[in-house]
Amino acid sequence: MKVISTVTGIQKQLETTHRKPVGLVPTMGALHEGHLSLVRSATLECAQAVISIYVNPTQFNDKNDLKRYPRTPDSDLKLLNTVLREDDLVFTPTDSEIYPTPDKRVFHFGNLDNVMEAKRRPGHFNGVAQVVSRFFEIVKPDIAYFGQKDFQQVAVIRELVRQLNFHIKISSNPIVREPDGLAMSSRNRLLEPQIRKDAPVIFKTISRAAEMIRKNDIPEIKKYVTGNINERAGFEVEYFEIADDRELRIVESRKEMEKGKKYFGCIAVKAGKIRLIDNIEFPLL
Ligand code: AMP
Protein backbone atom coordinates (compact mmCIF):
# COMPACT_ATOMS: atom_id res chain seq x y z
CA MET A 1 0.00 0.00 0.00
CA LYS A 2 1.05 3.61 -0.50
CA VAL A 3 0.37 6.34 2.05
CA ILE A 4 -0.24 9.76 0.49
CA SER A 5 -1.22 13.03 2.19
CA THR A 6 -1.84 15.45 -0.66
CA VAL A 7 -4.71 15.80 -3.14
CA THR A 8 -2.36 16.16 -6.10
CA GLY A 9 -0.37 13.13 -4.91
CA ILE A 10 -3.43 10.90 -4.67
CA GLN A 11 -4.76 12.06 -8.04
CA LYS A 12 -1.39 11.53 -9.75
CA GLN A 13 -1.14 8.03 -8.31
CA LEU A 14 -4.68 7.15 -9.42
CA GLU A 15 -3.88 8.36 -12.95
CA THR A 16 -0.66 6.36 -13.05
CA THR A 17 -2.07 3.03 -11.86
CA HIS A 18 -5.39 3.64 -13.67
CA ARG A 19 -7.12 0.61 -12.19
CA LYS A 20 -10.90 0.34 -12.30
CA PRO A 21 -13.22 0.12 -10.49
CA VAL A 22 -12.03 2.45 -7.75
CA GLY A 23 -13.44 1.70 -4.28
CA LEU A 24 -13.33 4.39 -1.58
CA VAL A 25 -13.62 3.74 2.17
CA PRO A 26 -13.83 7.02 4.12
CA THR A 27 -12.82 6.67 7.78
CA MET A 28 -11.77 8.81 10.73
CA GLY A 29 -9.09 6.31 11.80
CA ALA A 30 -8.80 4.49 15.15
CA LEU A 31 -9.51 1.52 12.93
CA HIS A 32 -11.13 -1.72 14.10
CA GLU A 33 -12.68 -4.82 12.51
CA GLY A 34 -15.77 -2.82 11.48
CA HIS A 35 -13.63 -0.59 9.29
CA LEU A 36 -11.60 -3.54 8.06
CA SER A 37 -14.75 -5.32 6.86
CA LEU A 38 -15.41 -2.34 4.57
CA VAL A 39 -11.78 -2.37 3.42
CA ARG A 40 -12.00 -6.09 2.64
CA SER A 41 -15.18 -5.57 0.59
CA ALA A 42 -13.44 -2.78 -1.34
CA THR A 43 -10.42 -4.97 -2.14
CA LEU A 44 -12.64 -7.88 -3.16
CA GLU A 45 -14.80 -5.81 -5.49
CA CYS A 46 -12.38 -3.14 -6.76
CA ALA A 47 -9.03 -3.31 -8.57
CA GLN A 48 -8.11 -0.06 -6.81
CA ALA A 49 -8.95 0.63 -3.17
CA VAL A 50 -8.51 4.03 -1.52
CA ILE A 51 -8.89 4.29 2.25
CA SER A 52 -9.06 7.78 3.67
CA ILE A 53 -8.17 8.56 7.26
CA TYR A 54 -9.27 12.04 8.24
CA VAL A 55 -10.91 13.33 11.42
CA ASN A 56 -13.22 15.89 9.85
CA PRO A 57 -13.67 18.89 12.18
CA THR A 58 -16.79 20.19 10.40
CA GLN A 59 -18.90 17.19 11.42
CA PHE A 60 -18.23 17.55 15.15
CA ASN A 61 -20.99 19.60 16.71
CA ASP A 62 -19.34 18.96 20.11
CA LYS A 63 -15.79 20.35 20.14
CA ASN A 64 -14.89 18.22 23.20
CA ASP A 65 -15.81 15.12 21.22
CA LEU A 66 -13.40 16.28 18.48
CA LYS A 67 -10.63 16.89 21.01
CA ARG A 68 -10.90 13.47 22.64
CA TYR A 69 -11.61 11.55 19.42
CA PRO A 70 -9.07 8.67 19.42
CA ARG A 71 -6.16 9.00 17.01
CA THR A 72 -3.99 5.92 16.44
CA PRO A 73 -2.12 6.52 13.16
CA ASP A 74 0.60 3.88 13.64
CA SER A 75 -1.70 1.00 14.45
CA ASP A 76 -4.11 2.14 11.67
CA LEU A 77 -1.38 1.79 9.06
CA LYS A 78 -0.27 -1.55 10.49
CA LEU A 79 -3.82 -2.91 10.29
CA LEU A 80 -4.36 -1.62 6.76
CA ASN A 81 -1.10 -3.17 5.68
CA THR A 82 -2.50 -6.61 6.57
CA VAL A 83 -5.45 -6.14 4.19
CA LEU A 84 -4.36 -3.84 1.35
CA ARG A 85 -2.46 -4.71 -1.84
CA GLU A 86 0.67 -3.06 -3.19
CA ASP A 87 -1.09 -0.41 -5.29
CA ASP A 88 -3.92 0.37 -2.88
CA LEU A 89 -3.81 3.84 -1.41
CA VAL A 90 -4.19 5.27 2.07
CA PHE A 91 -5.09 8.94 1.93
CA THR A 92 -4.15 10.88 5.09
CA PRO A 93 -4.79 14.54 4.27
CA THR A 94 -4.37 17.57 6.51
CA ASP A 95 -7.17 20.09 7.08
CA SER A 96 -5.76 22.49 4.49
CA GLU A 97 -5.78 19.78 1.79
CA ILE A 98 -9.46 19.07 2.37
CA TYR A 99 -10.52 22.65 3.10
CA PRO A 100 -8.10 25.04 1.32
CA THR A 101 -10.78 27.65 2.01
CA PRO A 102 -13.54 27.30 4.62
CA ASP A 103 -16.39 25.15 3.30
CA LYS A 104 -19.51 27.30 3.57
CA ARG A 105 -21.83 24.95 1.69
CA VAL A 106 -25.17 24.27 3.32
CA PHE A 107 -26.97 21.07 2.39
CA HIS A 108 -30.64 20.27 2.83
CA PHE A 109 -31.75 16.70 3.22
CA GLY A 110 -35.44 17.14 4.01
CA ASN A 111 -36.77 14.69 6.59
CA LEU A 112 -33.28 13.15 6.98
CA ASP A 113 -32.23 16.49 8.50
CA ASN A 114 -34.98 16.52 11.10
CA VAL A 115 -34.91 13.19 12.91
CA MET A 116 -32.75 11.16 15.31
CA GLU A 117 -29.03 12.03 14.93
CA ALA A 118 -29.75 15.20 12.95
CA LYS A 119 -31.95 16.52 15.74
CA ARG A 120 -29.40 15.81 18.48
CA ARG A 121 -26.26 16.74 16.55
CA PRO A 122 -27.06 19.96 14.68
CA GLY A 123 -24.72 20.51 11.74
CA HIS A 124 -23.31 16.98 11.92
CA PHE A 125 -24.63 15.73 8.59
CA ASN A 126 -23.80 19.02 6.89
CA GLY A 127 -20.18 18.40 7.88
CA VAL A 128 -20.41 14.76 6.73
CA ALA A 129 -21.79 15.92 3.37
CA GLN A 130 -19.00 18.48 3.02
CA VAL A 131 -16.19 16.01 3.65
CA VAL A 132 -17.67 13.08 1.75
CA SER A 133 -18.43 15.21 -1.31
CA ARG A 134 -14.82 16.49 -1.20
CA PHE A 135 -13.53 12.92 -1.11
CA PHE A 136 -15.86 11.96 -3.97
CA GLU A 137 -14.53 14.87 -6.05
CA ILE A 138 -10.88 14.09 -5.27
CA VAL A 139 -10.94 10.29 -5.62
CA LYS A 140 -13.83 9.90 -8.11
CA PRO A 141 -14.67 6.40 -6.87
CA ASP A 142 -16.99 3.98 -8.65
CA ILE A 143 -18.10 2.46 -5.35
CA ALA A 144 -18.01 4.03 -1.86
CA TYR A 145 -18.28 1.81 1.23
CA PHE A 146 -20.15 2.78 4.38
CA GLY A 147 -21.25 0.91 7.51
CA GLN A 148 -24.86 0.23 8.41
CA LYS A 149 -23.75 1.09 11.95
CA ASP A 150 -24.21 4.74 10.96
CA PHE A 151 -27.70 4.06 9.68
CA GLN A 152 -28.78 7.66 9.11
CA GLN A 153 -25.45 8.54 7.50
CA VAL A 154 -26.03 5.94 4.76
CA ALA A 155 -29.41 7.52 3.93
CA VAL A 156 -27.83 11.00 3.90
CA ILE A 157 -25.01 9.86 1.60
CA ARG A 158 -27.48 8.26 -0.82
CA GLU A 159 -29.39 11.56 -0.91
CA LEU A 160 -26.14 13.52 -1.36
CA VAL A 161 -25.22 11.34 -4.36
CA ARG A 162 -28.68 11.94 -5.81
CA GLN A 163 -28.59 15.70 -5.29
CA LEU A 164 -25.05 16.23 -6.64
CA ASN A 165 -25.43 13.70 -9.48
CA PHE A 166 -22.42 11.63 -8.54
CA HIS A 167 -22.20 8.36 -10.49
CA ILE A 168 -21.12 6.39 -7.46
CA LYS A 169 -22.59 3.17 -6.10
CA ILE A 170 -23.12 3.31 -2.34
CA SER A 171 -22.36 0.03 -0.63
CA SER A 172 -23.91 -0.36 2.83
CA ASN A 173 -22.20 -3.00 4.95
CA PRO A 174 -23.40 -5.00 7.99
CA ILE A 175 -22.51 -3.97 11.54
CA VAL A 176 -19.49 -5.78 12.98
CA ARG A 177 -19.85 -6.52 16.70
CA GLU A 178 -17.64 -7.47 19.61
CA PRO A 179 -18.14 -11.08 20.82
CA ASP A 180 -20.50 -9.74 23.54
CA GLY A 181 -22.68 -7.96 20.97
CA LEU A 182 -21.51 -4.36 21.40
CA ALA A 183 -21.27 -2.69 17.99
CA MET A 184 -17.62 -1.93 17.26
CA SER A 185 -16.83 1.76 17.41
CA SER A 186 -13.71 3.87 17.68
CA ARG A 187 -15.35 5.49 20.72
CA ASN A 188 -15.64 2.15 22.61
CA ARG A 189 -12.04 2.52 23.76
CA LEU A 190 -13.08 5.66 25.65
CA LEU A 191 -15.65 3.80 27.80
CA GLU A 192 -14.93 3.47 31.51
CA PRO A 193 -14.38 -0.22 32.50
CA GLN A 194 -17.72 -0.77 34.27
CA ILE A 195 -19.65 1.00 31.51
CA ARG A 196 -17.86 -1.14 28.90
CA LYS A 197 -18.86 -4.26 30.86
CA ASP A 198 -22.51 -3.22 30.88
CA ALA A 199 -22.61 -1.85 27.31
CA PRO A 200 -23.86 -5.11 25.69
CA VAL A 201 -27.23 -4.27 27.29
CA ILE A 202 -27.81 -1.94 24.32
CA PHE A 203 -27.71 -4.62 21.61
CA LYS A 204 -29.42 -7.20 23.86
CA THR A 205 -32.28 -4.80 24.46
CA ILE A 206 -32.83 -3.77 20.84
CA SER A 207 -32.59 -7.44 19.76
CA ARG A 208 -35.35 -8.30 22.22
CA ALA A 209 -37.32 -5.27 20.99
CA ALA A 210 -37.12 -6.57 17.41
CA GLU A 211 -38.69 -9.84 18.61
CA MET A 212 -41.36 -8.03 20.63
CA ILE A 213 -42.80 -6.38 17.50
CA ARG A 214 -44.64 -9.66 16.73
CA LYS A 215 -46.78 -9.32 19.87
CA ASN A 216 -46.45 -5.75 21.11
CA ASP A 217 -47.06 -2.36 19.59
CA ILE A 218 -44.41 0.35 19.34
CA PRO A 219 -45.22 2.49 22.42
CA GLU A 220 -44.84 -0.61 24.65
CA ILE A 221 -41.61 -1.56 22.93
CA LYS A 222 -40.20 1.94 23.38
CA LYS A 223 -41.06 1.85 27.06
CA TYR A 224 -39.32 -1.50 27.44
CA VAL A 225 -36.17 -0.31 25.65
CA THR A 226 -35.85 2.91 27.62
CA GLY A 227 -36.65 1.24 30.95
CA ASN A 228 -34.31 -1.71 30.46
CA ILE A 229 -31.32 0.44 29.51
CA ASN A 230 -31.87 3.35 31.87
CA GLU A 231 -32.00 1.01 34.85
CA ARG A 232 -28.22 0.45 34.43
CA ALA A 233 -26.12 2.97 36.31
CA GLY A 234 -24.52 5.46 33.92
CA PHE A 235 -26.76 4.64 30.94
CA GLU A 236 -29.36 6.96 29.49
CA VAL A 237 -31.31 6.48 26.27
CA GLU A 238 -31.31 9.64 24.14
CA TYR A 239 -33.76 8.23 21.64
CA PHE A 240 -35.08 4.95 20.35
CA GLU A 241 -37.03 5.19 17.10
CA ILE A 242 -38.25 2.78 14.46
CA ALA A 243 -37.85 4.16 10.93
CA ASP A 244 -37.52 2.98 7.32
CA ASP A 245 -34.03 3.00 5.85
CA ARG A 246 -34.63 5.36 2.91
CA GLU A 247 -36.76 8.31 4.01
CA LEU A 248 -36.32 7.70 7.73
CA ARG A 249 -40.03 8.17 8.43
CA ILE A 250 -40.55 7.36 12.09
CA VAL A 251 -43.43 4.98 12.81
CA GLU A 252 -45.34 5.12 16.09
CA SER A 253 -47.53 2.05 15.59
CA ARG A 254 -47.24 -1.29 13.79
CA LYS A 255 -49.98 -0.44 11.34
CA GLU A 256 -47.88 2.43 9.94
CA MET A 257 -45.22 -0.06 8.80
CA GLU A 258 -45.59 -0.46 5.04
CA LYS A 259 -44.93 -3.62 3.03
CA GLY A 260 -41.94 -3.35 0.68
CA LYS A 261 -40.01 -1.11 3.08
CA LYS A 262 -37.31 -2.06 5.55
CA TYR A 263 -37.55 -0.84 9.13
CA PHE A 264 -34.82 -0.46 11.71
CA GLY A 265 -34.90 0.25 15.42
CA CYS A 266 -32.28 2.96 15.97
CA ILE A 267 -30.89 3.93 19.33
CA ALA A 268 -28.54 6.50 20.83
CA VAL A 269 -27.39 6.03 24.41
CA LYS A 270 -25.27 8.13 26.68
CA ALA A 271 -22.96 5.55 28.28
CA GLY A 272 -21.04 7.40 30.98
CA LYS A 273 -19.54 10.34 29.10
CA ILE A 274 -19.62 8.60 25.72
CA ARG A 275 -22.46 8.58 23.23
CA LEU A 276 -23.08 5.25 21.48
CA ILE A 277 -25.40 4.41 18.58
CA ASP A 278 -26.69 1.08 17.29
CA ASN A 279 -29.54 -0.30 15.22
CA ILE A 280 -31.25 -3.53 14.23
CA GLU A 281 -33.71 -4.52 11.52
CA PHE A 282 -37.32 -4.91 12.64
CA PRO A 283 -39.20 -7.66 10.78
CA LEU A 284 -42.38 -6.78 8.93
CA LEU A 285 -45.35 -8.80 10.15
P1 AMP B 1 -15.79 6.32 11.21
O2 AMP B 1 -14.31 6.10 11.23
O3 AMP B 1 -16.45 6.19 12.52
O4 AMP B 1 -16.18 7.57 10.45
O5 AMP B 1 -16.36 5.12 10.34
C6 AMP B 1 -15.95 4.89 9.01
C7 AMP B 1 -16.89 3.92 8.37
O8 AMP B 1 -16.84 2.68 9.07
C9 AMP B 1 -18.34 4.41 8.42
O10 AMP B 1 -18.96 4.12 7.17
C11 AMP B 1 -18.92 3.58 9.54
O12 AMP B 1 -20.31 3.36 9.40
C13 AMP B 1 -18.15 2.27 9.39
N14 AMP B 1 -18.19 1.53 10.65
C15 AMP B 1 -17.87 1.99 11.88
N16 AMP B 1 -18.09 1.04 12.81
C17 AMP B 1 -18.57 -0.04 12.16
C18 AMP B 1 -19.00 -1.34 12.56
N19 AMP B 1 -18.99 -1.72 13.83
N20 AMP B 1 -19.44 -2.19 11.61
C21 AMP B 1 -19.48 -1.81 10.30
N22 AMP B 1 -19.08 -0.61 9.86
C23 AMP B 1 -18.64 0.28 10.76
| Residue spans per domain, the chain | 2-173, 186-282
Percent of the chain with pLDDT strictly greater than 90: 99
**pLDDT beyond 90 at 101:** yes
| Closest-lying ligand 1 atom to the alpha carbon of residue 150 | 12
The finding on whether 107 has its CB within 6 A of some atom of ligand 1 is no
Q: How far is the CA of 277 from the centre of ligand 1 (A)?
A: 11
The CATH number of domain 186-282, selected from 3.30.1300.10, 3.30.200.20, 3.40.50.1000, 3.30.360.10: 3.30.1300.10
pTM of the predicted protein model: 0.97
**pLDDT beyond 90 at 88:** yes
Stretch 220-241: mean pLDDT: 98
The rounded distance, in Å, linking the Cα atoms of 25 and 143 is 9
Q: How far is the CA of 221 from the centre of ligand 1 (A)?
A: 27
**Residue of the nearest CA to atom 17 in ligand 1?**
34
pLDDT digits (tens, 9 = 90+) for 160-174: 999 999 999 999 999
Ligand 1 pocket mutation, candidates 148, 150, 158, 184, criterion most atoms within 8 A of CB? 150
Percent of the chain with pLDDT strictly greater than 70: 100
Q: What is the pLDDT of residue 74?
A: 98
**Residue of the nearest CA to atom 5 in ligand 1?**
27
35 annotated active-site: yes
Q: How far is the CA of 108 from the centre of ligand 1 (A)?
A: 23
Stretch 47-69: mean pLDDT: 96
Sequence-separated (6 or more) residues with CB below 8 Å from residue 25: 35, 38, 39, 42, 49, 50, 51, 52, 144, 145
The finding on whether 182 has its CB within 6 A of some atom of ligand 1 is no
Question: Which phi-psi region, left, alpha or beta, contains residue 276 (left: φ > 0; alpha: ψ -120 to 50)?
Answer: beta
**Architecture of domain 2-173 in CATH?**
3-Layer(aba) Sandwich (3.40)
pLDDT digits (tens, 9 = 90+) for 203-222: 999 999 999 999 999 999 99
From 18, 32, 35, 124, active-site residue: 35
2-173 and 186-282 have identical folds:
no
| pLDDT grade for 196, boundaries at 50, 70 and 90 | very high
The rounded distance, in Å, linking the Cα atoms of 222 and 281 is 15
The rounded distance, in Å, linking the Cα atoms of 237 and 269 is 4
| Closest-lying ligand 1 atom to the alpha carbon of residue 26 | 6
Q: What is the pLDDT of residue 285?
A: 79
The finding on whether 147 has its CB within 6 A of some atom of ligand 1 is yes
CB 229, CB 198: distance < 8 Å: no
pLDDT digits (tens, 9 = 90+) for 238-270: 999 999 999 999 999 999 999 999 999 999 999
pLDDT digits (tens, 9 = 90+) for 149-161: 999 999 999 999 9
Q: How many residues does the chain have?
A: 285
Mean pLDDT of the chain: 98
